[in-house]
Structure 1
Amino acid sequence: MNNAPTLPEPRADDRFLLRPWRLSADDLALVREAADDDYIARLTTVPAPYSDEAGRDFITRQQRRMATGEAWPLVIVRAADQRPIGVTSVRGHERDQGRASVGYWVVGSARGQGAATAALRTATDWALTELRIPRMELYAEPWNTGSLRTAEAAGYLREGLLRSWQVIGGRRRDMYMYSRVSTNT
């Protein structure tokens, strides 16, 4: 018997869809564009410098994380043309404590269209209801105003500043902590 949760509704809103990673030319193009973004490459495991082999390995790791329930990385797809433009991922590493974290990124050519907010809202609603995780957390650097606006637009509340919280690009960085909690706890 498979106890894997059903995935979020594929439609994040009228403009964006969520789906699992695929070993496809479109998803490799997404990884390639993300690898060219210094910040995405520093903050994630997106392979930089990019190669098709490294891109395939990255996608296979995301598929494995989904299959094992370690995380639920989902590709954000623009509905109008089916182009993959970003990722949102729920990481359940603290699920036994009743919390999980969520992250997201959108490639530069697709920013400013509301994709991250729609995907974050959908993934969070799914984790709170389907996965029954009472508390969702996300972390963003204080200077990253786009990410801060995305979190707040998706219903997250800023809880505080975590000083020297995370290593990014070889340096310890401060992070704002945001959360959304279930109303059913």
Structure 2
Amino acid sequence: MGDIEELPVLPAGAYTLRRWETGDLHVVREVSADPLIPLITTVPAVYDDAAGRAFVARQWGRPATGQYPFVIARTADGRAVGNAGLRVISADRASVGYWVAPSARGAGAAGAGLRAITDWGLRELGIARLELYVEPWNTGSLRTAESAGYVREGLLRDWQRVGGELKDMLMYAALRRPR
């Protein structure tokens, strides 16, 4: 799975998933100020152009390690509004995640990005199981997961450290062969 060097462009309706570019620094700047995204990603918590460029450059090397970060961009103008990523855990399993900048929330970008990366992971990469973890309070993300075909499997107590504190996570999964 770690042999993909160039990310494909994935159509997602009004959005497109594509490789990160230096022209996407505006979205890194915006989400750096978000209270949650820097806690659960490598987005810098304090933005400056050097930190933003370093974040984008890190994304370019990730496919060699089995991690596939895509920008969620509006198809109409190419403007980045978020991120959808897939991380291979084994030949049969991967985890996915996504985030959308506050200014672009509520317009369907997260769902479009999640559906596109799910389809790519299950069909193109041939992964049998995609996992997604969501904090129980995050109702928007819970709805997004369910609308993209993910099924809630259970509560994982003290599963992930967020901001230095262990948090419960709901586990969702999408299977190549749904049951």
Same fold (TM over 0.5): yes
TM-score range with shorter-chain normalisation?
over 0.9
Q: Does the alignment pair 1:65 with 2:62? A: yes
Q: Which residue in 1 is equivalent to 2:153?
A: 159
Q: Cα–Cα, structure 1 residues 8 and 183, in superposed 2: closer, same or farther, change >3 Å?
A: farther
2:9, 2:19 within 8 Å by CA — same for their partners in 1?
A: no
The ranges of structure 1 where at least 4 consecutive aligned residues each deviate by more than 6 angstroms after the TM superposition are none
**C-alpha separation in 2, matches of 1:3 and 1:72:** 11
TM-score (norm 1): 0.91
Could you tell me how far 1:41 is from its partner in structure 2?
1.2
Aligned length: 178
For the aligned residue pairs, the C-alpha RMSD in angstroms reads 1.9
Could you tell me how far 1:183 is from its partner in structure 2?
1.9
Letter in 1 for 2:68: W
2:158, 2:167 within 8 Å by CA — same for their partners in 1?
A: yes
Q: Which residue in 2 is equivalent to 1:39?
A: 36
1:158, 1:179 within 8 Å by CA — same for their partners in 2?
A: yes
Q: Percent identity?
A: 53
Letter in 2 for 1:146: G
Q: Which sections of structure 1, spanning at least 5 residues, go unmatched?
A: none
1:35, 1:41 within 8 Å by CA — same for their partners in 2?
A: yes
Equivalent of residue 89 in structure 1, options 74, 81, 85: 85
Letter in 2 for 1:82: G
Equivalent of residue 78 in structure 1, options 74, 81, 88: 74
Q: Which residue in 2 is equivalent to 1:128?
A: 122
**C-alpha separation in 1, matches of 2:114 and 2:54:** 25
Could you tell me how far 1:80 is from its partner in structure 2?
2.1
1:5, 1:130 within 8 Å by CA — same for their partners in 2?
A: no
Q: Does the alignment pair 1:49 with 2:46? A: yes
TM-score (norm 2): 0.94
**C-alpha separation in 2, matches of 1:49 and 1:158:** 34
Q: Which residue in 2 is equivalent to 1:23?
A: 22
